[in-house]
Structure 1
Amino acid sequence: MKKLLYAVLAIVVVIVVGIGALLALVDPNQFKPLITEQVKKATGRDLVISGDIGWRFFPSIGFTLGQTEFRNPQGFAEPNLVQLGSAELSVSVVPLFSRHLEIGHVSLQDGRVFIQTRKDGVSNIDGLGQPAPQDQQLETTASQPTTAPETGTASEPAPSSQDAAQPWTISLEGVELVNASAEIRDEQAGTFTSISALNLTLNRFAPGEWTQLDFDVAGQNGELAFTANGATELFIVPALNNAELKNLQLAATAKDPVNDIQSLSLVVDKFKAGDWSAVTFAAKGEVPDLVFDAKGETRLKLSEAFDLLQLQALVLESGLKGAALPRPEMTVKLNADAEYDVSKGMATLSQFKAGVDEISVNGEGSFKAADIPVIRFAINSDNIDLDSFLGLDKKEATQKTSDEGAGTTTGGSMSETAPAADKNKEPDLSALKGLDVAGTVKLGKFKAANAKLANVLVDMKVAKGVLKLKQFHADLYDGSITMQATLNANGKLPTYKVTNQIRGVQVQPLMIDVADNDVLAGKGDITMSLAGTGLAENRIRKNIAGTVDINFADGAVYGVNVPEMIREAKAKLKGKRAEYVKEERKTDFSAMVATIKLGSGKASTTNLDLDSPLLRIAGKGHTNLVSEAIDFKVNTSVVATSKGQGGKQVDEVADLTVPIDVKGNWTEPKFSMDLAGLLKQNNELEKKAQKEVERGLEKLLGDKAKDDEVKKVADKLLKGLFN
């Protein structure tokens, strides 16, 4: 036993003496020239080791390295490509005999990497790894003896079957990066990225075991300054071909001159390819004219092949504030399932429900990445009231109250405070050329610009700069509307074509809601076929061309009472005043048809026809689409011998044709009776008027009324009265 103890003691003494001799006789710093020389030969760059190299023997063999710099070539902004303040590394020897690489604690202090690409395209990493030029190696190679190369089969024994069967394993006691930094500057592209401080700590690491990872980083990308810190548990599978995470927590901030992401957080319970993960996230900040505070959660799965990312039960809610919004404050919500196919570059949103305050929609959509992104969608909603959402109904009520209170004293104030819109400015349609969008929208009820629609269907497509409204259909004021349209943005000026069919629509409530105008009532059918060039207001008015066919039934024209005008004409023809009857200023009709032709900045018709049991009205004329002036001539005939509108007898003027002039403009049309035209078109009435005059003169003058001179004077007065 004593002999064994002495033997062990002797071994310990030998080891201690050997280490002492190594420390005393071998200075690792004497290898600096050799190391720098080999680096120069391998890379063509200078390695400068300013600090000391020191040995470590407990608890494992290793070394420490002081300040070290790996130089850049001349002509770059910083002298060093890589530099270290200090480094520390150790390796245990005994486990090596069992084919296990056990690395001790690795520590890097004040490390920095600098990469620069100059304006001429030359980078400080160009040629890295290439040996130094031949003339720099002559002196070194000349001092070295020339030996014949040895083949691997002659100098290396074949591995034993036991060694080949047993794979190497590796473990790491820990990694520590303290105050590391990096900078990537591309002067040719004008980009700049820097990491001013990076700290990372990795606890004991070995494949098949969980370890803790913590980090924090601060840096800048262009004008965007960012910070991030996080922690997670990390698991590397023994085969070193996969990894898992759990308890991942990440927090970040970002700020540039216009954007401020005050906080961004992400929490993942676990992550393993092929398994579902629970994810929660939140973001708070401000972008131009918008403040947001968002939060959400989802279940996430990445396929084992890393080619399919799935999101299940995605829930997102965000409060928004800002001038860029249609209302000062909004709440946006989204519930959906989603996935992204990496091989196809396609993102799909399925079974989504989105809400913006009181507006709610649902449906599905997809996005495929390409030079021109491909977007498809199908959206449904029970009810959308844009006027209420945008506050337009309140604005209109306030405006009406203000106008009534202000009277006419505020006329012109609008033009003084708000600049007039440029009526010659074309809208920017360039976005249509970079889209491939197609989809449908179905709405149970829809209100916009005070028009009320139901059962709305929109089927549209945008491709190659052309917008096609393949179908628009809606129920509208007891009737329906169907429309197709094409807008082509590829020319110098956009072109458009529109066909529209309105069937059985109650016109008056529609006009009251949309135009605040009740001049026309009835059940209407309208067919339009229009085309034009240019979308600026003035170009639309000047260039629009096509036809509009109108067919109304059982209606009325408000603002004019034609039977009353006929009674006035009748009374004047008799030299009397018409009996005043208080009745509504409207003209009823059983049918009204017209074909309106548009072109050259005008809308004209030659076949306006309005029929009623009492009247027949035919008209023609035009309106200027630019000035909005009206010039129509309407001929009205009495065709009945029974009591007409208002309950007054019109028998005596049956078959009378009364011409009516319609002048003014769209907002204030003016109606007047053309008496001169009335007499010219009705010779019989003129003769009746002549007899009435002669009878009056006989009563007044007696036999003198038959005098030729008196008759000439009477004829002259009569013609002056009716011409």
Structure 2
Amino acid sequence: MKKLLYAVLAIVIVIVVGVGALLALVDPNQFKPLLAEQVKKATGQELVIRGDIGWRFFPSIGFTLGQTEFRNPEGFAEPNLIQLGSAELSVSVVPLFSRHLEIGHISLQDGRVFIQTRKDGVNNLDALGQSSKQAENNTVADQPTAATETAPQNQGGAEPWTISLEGVELVNASAEIRDDQAGTFTAISALNFTLSRFAPGEWTQAEFDVAGQNGELAFTANGASELFIVPEMNNAELKNMQLSATAKDKLNDIQSLTVTMDKFKAGDWSAVTFAVTGEVPALAFDAKGETRLKLSEAFDFVQLQALALESGLKGATLPRPEMAVKLSADADYDVNKGMATLSQFKADIDEISVNGNASFKAADIPVIRFAVNSDNIDLDAFLGLDKKETSSQAGAEDVGSTTAGTAPETASAADKNQEPDLSALKSLDVAGTVKLGKFKAANAKLANVLVDVKVAKGVLKLNHLDAELYDGSIKMQAMLNANGKLPTYKVTNKISGVQIQPLMVDVVDNDVLAGKGNITMSLAGTGLAEKRIRENVAGTVDIKFADGAVYGVNVPEMIREARATLKGKKAEYVKEEKKTDFSGLTATIKLGSGKASTTNLDLDSPLLRIAGKGQTNLVSEAIDFKVNTSVVATSKGQGGKQVDEVADLTLPIDVKGDWTEPKFSMDLAGLLKQNNKLEEKAHKEVERGLEKLLGDKAKDDDVKKVADKLLKGLFN
């Protein structure tokens, strides 16, 4: 037993003497020039160790390193590429005999990395890479050939090396990546990182916090996770991951972002939750959600399953002051193809609900495809357009100074000349379909809507829009080209069997026309500002209406009044609706030079034949039409009044005014000029009346002259 104690004591004495000799005879600082020389040889740059290098023997052998700087080449904004305040590293000796590398606690204090690309495109890493490559070539040239020396080989049956690390500590690190050529920079002002005991096959805890700036965006982040490295060192797992972050610049403020993940392993599903609160220009949001995530073992395919997102939105740019948005979907992303797909998605925006599929492919011009469906969308209710202000409210809002009253008119005039910004059409490749059970917009009500649209190379094509519309149908095609100085457009439209009056009442609040209508339209133009559309639109509109009426004018009543006037009597008053029935109405309207005109307006009814021509100014909205009405039958007609005495005569009617207030009047002068027979009847009726009043004196020449003068004044 004593011999054993003596042996152990001898070993201890040898170790102590060896350590003492090492401290006495070997000063690690003498290696500074050698280290600097080797770094210079390998990289071409200088290594400056300002602090001392010191030995450390407890609890393991290691060393400490003082302030150290790795220089940049000349001509860069900072002198150092890498600098370090201090560092500590130790290695246990005994485990080395068991082929196990046990590294003690690594501590790096006040480290900094600076990477810069100058305006001339030169990067401070370029010289480092070139020097490393040259050093590698020199090393290869200096190596002995295989005939003289071979690399050491693992002996058969030898145990593989294992490694463990007691911990890593990175304290108050900083970094800056600066690109003067692109005008960008990213700076890490403070980075702290800790890793507890780390060994393959064991779980370890990692934590970090960071603060920095990317351009004008300042950010902070902190997080924690447990980490597991498999013994083969070829894979890793995470669990209990937590991340919190903030970001802010002049326009955006991400006040809080949190992400949690129960676990992560390539090829397995992970449960993820997230929440974000913040503001972007004119919009505040508060969102939260969850999903299941899986990353393929090859790290090239990401899947999201049962993604659920809820968000509250507030802002002046929204259709409503406050909105609630919900989204559910499955999604995936193929890294190699750059393709993201969204399947079985459902989005609820307040009362609007849509569902479908979509895809996005990353490219210089992104490729987007979609298919969207919805049972019912009331765009007017969603935008609040169905809540019209009363005239009294509008009048109250207009109360103010003359200057205040003229401002909206000036703004309105500017809006009419403002072209929309269509630049986005040049940077998209979009194609898709939209199916809607019911749809309401601009108070027009459609059903079973199918839209097929495509945007590519600055051209928007509405391949077709099919819908049911007021007991009829609509089929439309359109094209919008945004590549010229001003956009150009073409529209073809066919409306079949539509009830015109309810459509006009809903859309333009005008019930002047009723009937079952067929309308074929072919229009084209340049410019989308309201004023340019009115000035430049050109094309034709063919109209065919059946079994309808024109409201606001009663032509038979006007005929009776004309008849009574010619007889020198007042027409018998009969309370009748102001409308003229027809069995058919046709017209071809030509648009161009800021006007819409027709020469073949034709209206047929059992009593009347109406033919007209004229025009309306699309800019001023003034109306100037001449309508000739012929009484073609002897019957009791509309209103039950006989019109025998004016049968087969043409009665001219002037239509003046504007779109909102059309005015109808009988052109009596034209009536007399066009119908000699009617003028003769008028003279006879006047003579008969004079004879009743004056007797034989009515035949006096002076009386006849006065009667003729009065008659001309009446009809001219």
**Cα pair 1:547 1:596 within 8 Å, conserved:** yes
Q: CA deviation at 1:690?
A: 2.0
Q: CA deviation at 1:131?
A: 5.8
**Which of 160, 169, 176 is residue 162 of structure 2 equivalent to?**
169
Secondary structure at the residue paired with 1:597? strand
Does 2:20 align with 1:13?
no
Distance 1:366-1:113 versus aligned 2 partners, 3 A rule? same
RMSD over aligned Cα, in angstroms?
2.4
Q: In structure 2, which of residues 439, 456, 459 is the aligned counterpart of residue 463 of structure 1?
A: 456
Match of 1:420? Answer: 412
Paired residue secondary structure (2:323):
strand
CA distance 1:275–1:6, change in 2 (3 Å): same
Distance in 2 (CA, whole Å) between partners of 1:117 and 1:463 is 37
Query: What secondary structure, in the 3-state scheme, does the structure 2 residue paired with 1:560 have?
Result: coil
Task: Return the offset for 1:291.
Answer: 0.7
Aligned to 2:637, which of 644, 647, 654?
644
Residues 1:402 and 2:393 aligned together: yes
Deviations 1:362-393 (A, max 9, x none): 01100111111111111111111111111111
Asked if the contact 1:277/1:300 (under 8 Å) is kept, the reply is yes
Matched, 1:327 2:320: yes
C-alpha contact 2:526 2:537 (8 A) present in aligned 1: yes
Moved more, 81-90 or 341-350: 81-90
CA contact (8 A) 2:567 2:686 kept: no
Which residue of the partner structure matches residue 714 of structure 2? 721
Q: Describe the shift of the 1:540–1:417 C-alpha distance in structure 2 as closer, same or farther (beyond 3 A).
A: closer
Distance in 1 (alpha carbons) for counterparts of 2:222 and 2:553: 78
Q: CA–CA distance in 2 between the matches of 1:30 and 1:405?
A: 91
1:150-549 equivalences in 2 (<5 Å): 158-159=152-153, 161-162=155-156, 165-394=158-387, 396=388, 398-402=389-393, 415-417=406-408, 419-422=411-414, 423-549=416-542
Between the aligned partners of 2:123 and 2:8, the Cα distance in structure 1 is: 59
Q: Assess if the C-alpha contact under 8 Å between 1:42 and 1:129 holds in 2.
A: no
What corresponds to 1:137 in structure 2? none
Cα deviation, residue 151, structure 1 = 6.0
Distance in 2 separating the partners of 1:503 and 1:157: 89
| Distance (whole Å) between structure 2 residues aligned to residue 382 and residue 195 of structure 1 | 51
Contact 1:44-1:129 at 8 Å conserved across structures: no
Counterpart code for 1:28: P
Q: Structure 2 CA distance, aligned partners of 1:408 and 1:260?
A: 39
What is the CA distance between 1:18 and its match in structure 2? 1.4
Cα 1:87/1:581, change in 2 over 3 Å: same
What is aligned with 1:22? 22
1:102 offset after TM fit, Å?
Answer: 1.5
| Seq. identity, % | 82
CA distance in structure 1 between the aligned counterparts of 2:680 and 2:403, rounded to whole angstroms: 53
1:578 Cα deviation from its structure 2 partner: 0.9
For 2:353 and 2:279, how far apart are their aligned partners in 1? 25
Determine the structure 1 residue equivalent to 2:32.
Answer: 32
Structure 1 CA distance for aligned equivalents of residues 19 and 396 of structure 2: 104
Going from structure 1 to structure 2, the CA distance change for 1:159 and 1:644 (only over 3 Å counts) comes to closer
- Per-residue deviation, 1:282: 0.5
User: What is the distance in 2 between the residues matched to 1:277 and 1:172?
Assistant: 28
For 2:15, the aligned partner's letter is I
**Partner residue of 1:553?**
546
Q: CA deviation at 1:188?
A: 2.3
**Which of 549, 558, 561 is equivalent to 1:565?**
558
**Residues 225-234 or 602-611, more deviating:** 602-611
Please state whether the residue corresponding to 1:128 is helix, strand or coil: helix
Q: What amino acid is aligned across from residue 127 of structure 2 in structure 1?
A: G
CA deviations over 1:104-158 (Å, ceiling 9, x no partner): 11111111112223333333333126669x9xxxxxxxxxxxxx98667756785
Match of 1:139 in 2: none
Listed one character per residue, the Cα deviations across residues 263-318 of structure 1 (whole Å, up to 9, x for unaligned) are 10110001111111000001001111111100000000011111110000000001
Q: Is the 8 A contact 1:42 1:130 kept in 2?
A: no
CA contact (8 A) 2:398 2:405 kept: no
2:102 corresponds in structure 1 to: 102
Structure 2 residue identity aligned to 1:566: I
Structure 1: stretches of 5+ with no match in the other structure: 135-147
Alignment partners' CA distance in 2, 1:158 and 1:122? 41
Structure 2: give runs of 5+ residues left out of the alignment.
135-141
Residue 145 of structure 1 corresponds to which residue in structure 2? none
Classify the secondary structure of the residue corresponding to 1:349.
Answer: strand
Distance 1:407 1:102 in 2: 83
Over 3 Å counting, the alpha-carbon distance change for 1:253 and 1:698 in structure 2 is closer
Report the AA paired with residue 198 of structure 1: L
Change (3 A) 1:697 1:59: closer
1:447-497 CA-to-partner distances (Å, cap 9, x unmatched) read 111111111111111111111111111111111111111112222222211
Looking at structure 2, the residues matched to 267 and 613 of structure 1 have their Cα atoms a distance apart, in angstroms, of 80
The residue identity in structure 1 corresponding to 2:407 is E
Q: Which amino acid aligns with 2:306?
A: A
Counterpart secondary structure, 2:128: coil
Query: 1:239 Cα shift?
Result: 2.1
CA displacement, residues 187-238 of structure 1 (integer Å, 9 cap, x when unaligned):
2221121111111111111122211111111111111111111010111122
For 1:201 and 1:357, locate their aligned partners in 2 and report how far apart those are by CA, in whole Å: 46
Question: Does residue 1:668 correspond to 2:693, yes or no?
Answer: no
Please tell me the residue identity of whatever aligns with 1:102: E
- The CA deviation at 1:716 is 4.1
Distance 1:40 1:511, change over 3 A: same
Does the residue aligned with 1:392 lie in a helix, a strand or coil?
A: coil
Contact 2:568/2:686 (<8 A) preserved: no
SS of the equivalent of 2:166 reads strand
Q: Distance in 2 between matches of 1:374 and 1:359?
A: 26
Q: Which amino acid aligns with 1:572?
A: T
- Of 406-415 and 652-661, more deviation after overlay is shown by 406-415
In the alignment, the residues of structure 2 paired with residue 697 and residue 253 of structure 1 have an alpha-carbon distance, to the nearest angstrom, of 100
Cα distance in 2 between the residues matched to 1:709 and 1:570: 27
Return the alpha-carbon distance in structure 2 between the equivalents of residues 617 and 192 of structure 1: 77
CA contact (8 A) 1:263 1:285 kept: yes
Are residues 1:687 and 2:671 paired? no
Aligned residue for 1:162, secondary structure, equals coil
Name the CA distance, whole Å, in 1 between partners of 2:116 and 2:682.
Answer: 106
Alpha-carbon separation, structure 1, partners of 2:647 and 2:401: 49
Q: Counterparts of 1:409 and 1:597 in 2: how far apart (Å)?
A: 43
**Do the aligned partners of 1:336 and 1:350 also contact (CA within 8 Å) in 2?**
yes
Q: What CA deviation, in whole Å up to 9, does each residue of 1:487-544 have, x standing for no partner?
A: 1222222221111111111111111111111111111111111112222222222222
Deviations, residues 169-188 of structure 1 (Å, cap 9, x unaligned): 21111111111111122222
Q: Counterparts of 2:219 and 2:96 in 1: how far apart (Å)? A: 43
Q: Is residue 49 of structure 2 the alignment partner of residue 49 of structure 1?
A: yes
Q: In the TM superposition, what whole-angstrom CA distance separates every residue of 1:607-650 from its partner, at most 9, and x where no partner exists?
A: 11112222211111111222211111111122232222222222
- Separation of aligned partners in 2, 1:415 and 1:602: 28
Q: Distance in 2 between matches of 1:111 and 1:218?
A: 15
Counterparts of 1:620 and 1:122 in 2: how far apart (Å)? 76
CA distance in 1, matches of 2:698, 2:151: 155
Paired positions, count: 706
TM-superposition CA deviations, 1:560-603 (whole Å, max 9, x none) = 11111111101001001111222221111121111111122221
Candidates 579, 591, 594, aligned match of 2:572: 579
Which range moved further: 584-593 or 257-266?
A: 584-593
User: What SS does structure 2 have at the residue aligned with 1:580?
Assistant: coil
- Cα distance between partner residues in 2 of 1:245 and 1:442: 44
Aligned equivalents of 2:608, 2:143: Cα separation in 1: 121
Change in 2 beyond 3 A, CA 1:404/1:36:
closer
State whether residues 473 and 480 of structure 1, in contact with CA within 8 Å, keep that contact through their aligned partners in structure 2: yes
CA distance in 2, matches of 1:131, 1:617: 96
